[in-house]
Amino acid sequence: MIAALIVSLVTGLWAEMSFGKILLWVVFAAFACIVAEFIVGLAAMHAGWFPAFATALIFLVLGILMGFPPVAAAILVGFVASGGPAFADAGYDLRAGWWLRGQGKHRAFELEGRWQQIIAGFVGLIIGLVMVFFFRDLYFSQNLVPPVDRVYVATIKAGVDPSLIKSLMIWAIPGAIIQALGGSTRQMGILLATGLLIMNPLAGWAVLVGIAIRYTLRKKYGEEMETPMTIFGAGCIAGDALYGFFNAVYRAKWR
């Protein structure tokens, strides 16, 4: 709630809404962020996927129904979309550390390890702030924004449109069915939604190729290939991120 209050003050929401509306926004933003943390965290623990955008969209629609103006709705969805996965990821990392340190058998070692992880998290936060400060214009100038941001914008522009709410409810049904059929360990509903938002079809083909390779290796070598495949996949993700960043920097420099 303190974080939501600070955000409301820094962004100037107090100038757009009454005191009662601001109070409602702060309480709802805090509540939404906490609930999103649990939803995103549970999905992450089961399957490693963070349904942060979909969860934030739910609370965005609820915020619009509560009558928040467009700017307040935009800040709300940003607050929830960043807070939910951040807290869930912290729990995810602490859980990994708990396993690596022997599952809490040595109390002093466990507490020191958690503290070191928190320090590392704050170091990452500071580095992230510096990177955003220096490179935000470079990304925005090349239209490098997540496709789900366009979904948020369209939702806010539509406002309290009965047809929009109706569409969301209708399409929530097949999404829930697919999610239930796949089970909590697969999160197929989230994967389907993610695929629908990605504009580049090559990403879908890359996923299919990865699944085929994984299936073939597991079939031939069994469980012993699990760790090498996981490490290889992590390396591919890191390489893709590095290529994307430096490619964007190069294009911005030579435009």
Q: What is the pLDDT of residues 103-144, one digit of tens each?
A: 888 889 999 999 999 899 899 889 989 988 888 887 777 777
CA distances to 13, 28, 34, 66 from 21, rounded to whole Å, are: 10, 10, 20, 10
Residue 55 contacts residue 20 (beta carbons within 8 Å): no
Burial class, 190, CB count within 10 angstroms (exposed 0-12 / middle 13-18 / buried 19+): buried
The region of weakest confidence among 6-10, 58-62, 100-104, 158-162 is 158-162
Instruction: Using the CB atoms, write b or e for 26-62: b if 16+ within 10 Å.
Output: bebbbebbeebbebbbebbeebeebbbbbbbbbbbbe
Domain boundary among 184, 211, 228: 184
Confidence class for position 255, pLDDT limits 50, 70, 90: low
Residue 191 lies in a domain: no
> Looking at the predicted structure, is the pLDDT value of residue 252 above 70?
no
Count the domains in the chain. 2
- In the chain, % of residues over pLDDT 70: 95
Question: What integer pLDDT is reported at residue 47 of this predicted model?
Answer: 67
Per-residue pLDDT tens digits for 154-203: 888 877 666 777 777 788 888 889 888 887 777 788 778 777 777 778 88
**Looking at the predicted structure, is the pLDDT value of residue 145 above 90?**
no
Residue 238: both structure tokens together: 């890191």
Q: Are residues 58 and 174 in the same domain?
A: yes
Residue 116, in any domain of the structure? yes
Residue 160 is predicted with a pLDDT of 64
Report whether 57 contacts 152 (CB < 8 A). Answer: yes
83 with 166, same domain: the answer is: yes
- The pLDDT of residue 253 is 64
224 DSSP assignment: G
Residues 7 and 60 in one domain: yes
pLDDT, position 169: 78
pLDDT at 23: 92
What residue type is 69 in one-letter code? Answer: P
Residue range of the domain that includes 115: 2-184
Domain-located, residue 190: no
13 — pLDDT class (breaks 50, 70, 90): confident
Domain-located, residue 48: yes
